[in-house]
């Protein structure tokens, strides 16, 4: 089955063609038009500007995805359209959704409304055509129960999965998301937008033990997170400091901040994996691109939850993309069928279920 994925929930306009063979996902094309440069001058994503950029980008991006995949835009070629219906920015989501509805009518192809977070959960199971290691992404080999850690700019969630497409939220952030914490702290440190990746890059040259920043809720019995205390603590810390760009001290602060965020994410994920006796752990979301998180979580799971298999997305599938939407949409379609075109709706707070 060939799936066209469409993603416009925030500041990336993306379209992808993914071939699902049984439960193997082969990415035939994945085009991402980023608006980062447009929003950089505002220091954050402006919803109205994002929606307008999606409008001009969406059709060329879909055309490019079709061309690159060599899948023709004929009705017989695309079997399913998966589109992000939420969560996200309402006006941005609407552009993708209305485009999917239109293509569904025009091509006579079923459309499935897809949850963006389900996309992040399935992103570690995507493979690129031409690569040989397909067995790793064989969803039949994926054992349940599974645990997903979604860490993005808008979400930090631990999700328990009894089966494909069966999601139960067991923990979430009570304030800032992990990516948001990276971005806000990077801003306090004077790094350019979006700061998360820049902070992570500087952290590589720093000492993670140089400063002791708070690990919010690390000892709490639940699986919730809190990162706003870390931001406040840094704000006070910086009042007494003189920071110089490119200095070793700045790198040490970045490494110490990163360690504080990563330690909490790892500790909560490991304790949830133990409590729920999971056989699989899935990592997803923009912050999944963080090298330290990938490494520390892998090591901790190997040590403490040795029966589990850890799936990490390729770097290109960590941040928002339509290939992950195609994969998650396929799972939703298998479980619940298509969404009638007149019932396709965006929901900025769409829950994962
Ligand atoms: O998943 P995503 O593209 O968008 C949302 O759905 O929110 O995630 C973007 C987030 C941003 O906060 C960005 O700073 C963060 O992911 N991010 C990183 C890294 N790369 C992206 N955070 C830490 N380390 C990274 N290497
Ligand atoms: Zn996302």
Q: How far is ligand 2, taken at its centre, from the CA of residue 242, in Å? A: 35
Tell which atom from ligand 1 comes closest to the C-alpha of 153. Answer: 7
Rounded to 5 degrees, what angle do the CA atoms 261, 262, 263 make? 95
Q: Is 88 in the pocket of ligand 1 (CB under 6 A)?
A: no
Return the pLDDT at 135: 47
Proximal ligand: closest to the CA of 187: 1
What residues contact 232, with CB distance under 8 A and at least 6 apart?
none
Q: Which of 168, 140, 51 is nearest to 99 (CA)?
A: 51
Contact residues for 241 (Cβ-Cβ < 8 A; gap 6+): 249
Residue 320 is predicted with a pLDDT of: 96
Q: CA-CA distances (angstroms) from residue 44 to 24, 168, 176?
A: 36, 31, 15
Full DSSP string of 116-129 = HHHHHHHGGGEEET
Distance from Cα 89 to the centre of ligand 2, integer Å: 11
Per-10-residue mean pLDDT, the chain, length 353? 96 94 85 86 83 94 93 73 97 98 96 98 81 47 91 96 95 96 95 91 96 91 95 92 84 97 98 96 97 96 91 94 97 96 97 90
**DSSP per residue over 327-343, as a string?**
HHHHHHHHHH-PPPGGG
Cβ burial, residue 306 (10 Å; 0-12/13-18/19+):
exposed
> Hey, CA dihedral for 34, 39, 45, 51, is it positive or negative?
negative
Residue 217, CA atoms < 13 Å, CB-side half-sphere? 20
> 292 CA distance to ligand 1 centroid (A)?
14
Cβ atoms of residues 45 and 157 within 8 Å? no
**Contact assessment for residue 232 and residue 225, using Cβ atoms and an 8 Å cutoff:** no
Nearby residues of 133 by Cβ (< 8 Å), 6 or more positions away: 127
CB 269 within 8 A of CB 297: yes
Gap from CA of 14 to ligand 2 centroid (Å): 12
Q: Which of 26, 17, 128, 166 is nearest to 81 (CA)?
A: 17
Helix 195-203 and helix 178-188, axial crossing angle in degrees, nearest 10: 80
- CA dihedral sign, ordered 329, 330, 333, 338: positive
| CA–CA separation, 59 and 55 (whole Å) | 8
**Tokens in use for 116?**
């963006």
Pocket flag, ligand 1, residue 320 (CB < 6 Å): yes
The residue contributing the CA closest to ligand 1 atom 14 is 196
Strand 126-128 with 146-151, pairing: unpaired
Report which protein residue has its CA nearest ligand 1's atom 3.
Answer: 319
Q: Starting at the edge strand that comes first in sequence, how are the strands of the sheet with 111-115 ordered?
A: 111-115, 80-86, 2-7, 12-21, 24-34, 126-128
Q: For residue 73, what pLDDT is reported?
A: 56
Check if 289 has its Cβ closer than 6 Å to any atom of ligand 1: yes
SS3 of residue 159 by DSSP: strand
Ligand 1 pocket residue status of 319, Cβ below 6 Å: yes
Q: What was the pLDDT predicted at 138? A: 53
Query: How far does the centroid of ligand 2 lie from the alpha carbon of residue 286, in Å?
Result: 7
Ligand 1 near 157 CB (within 6 A): no
């Amino acid at each position: 089955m060939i799936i066209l994925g469409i993603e416009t929930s925030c500041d990336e306009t993306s379209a992808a063609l993914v071939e699902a063979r049984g439960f193997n996902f082969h990415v035939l094309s994945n085009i991402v038009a980023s608006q980062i440069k447009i929003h950089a001058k505002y220091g954050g994503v402006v919803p109205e500007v994002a929606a307008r950029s999606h409008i001009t980008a969406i059709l060329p991006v879909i055309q490019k995805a079709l061309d690159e995949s060599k899948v023709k835009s004929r009705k017989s070629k695309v079997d399913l359209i998966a589109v992000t219906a939420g969560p996200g920015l309402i006006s941005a989501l609407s552009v993708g959704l209305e485009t999917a509805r239109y293509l569904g009518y025009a091509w006579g192809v079923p459309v499935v409304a897809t949850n963006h977070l389900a996309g992040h959960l399935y992103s570690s199971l995507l493979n690129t055509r031409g690569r040989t290691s397909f067995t790793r992404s064989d969803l039949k080999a994926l054992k349940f129960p599974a645990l997903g850690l979604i860490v993005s700019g808008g979400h930090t969630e631990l999700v328990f999965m009894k089966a494909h497409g069966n999601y139960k939220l067991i923990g979430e952030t009570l304030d800032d998301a992990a990516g948001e914490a990276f971005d806000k702290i990077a801003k306090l440190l004077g790094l350019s937008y979006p700061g998360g990746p820049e902070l992570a890059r500087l952290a590589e040259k720093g000492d993670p033990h140089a400063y002791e920043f708070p690990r919010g809720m690390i000892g709490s019995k639940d699986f919730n997170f809190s990162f706003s205390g870390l931001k406040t603590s840094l704000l006070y810390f910086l009042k007494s400091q003189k920071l110089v760009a490119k200095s070793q001290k700045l790198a040490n602060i970045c490494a110490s901040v990163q360690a504080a965020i990563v330690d909490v994410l790892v500790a909560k994920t490991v304790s949830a994996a133990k409590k729920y006796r999971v056989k699989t752990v899935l990592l997803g979301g923009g912050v999944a691109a963080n090298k330290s998180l990938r490494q520390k979580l892998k090591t901790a799971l190997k040590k403490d939850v040795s029966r589990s298999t850890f799936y990490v997305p390729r770097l290109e599938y960590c941040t928002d993309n339509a290939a992950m939407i195609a994969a998650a949409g396929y799972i939703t379609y298998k479980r619940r069928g298509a969404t009638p075109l007149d019932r396709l709706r965006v929901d900025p707070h769409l829950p994962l279920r």
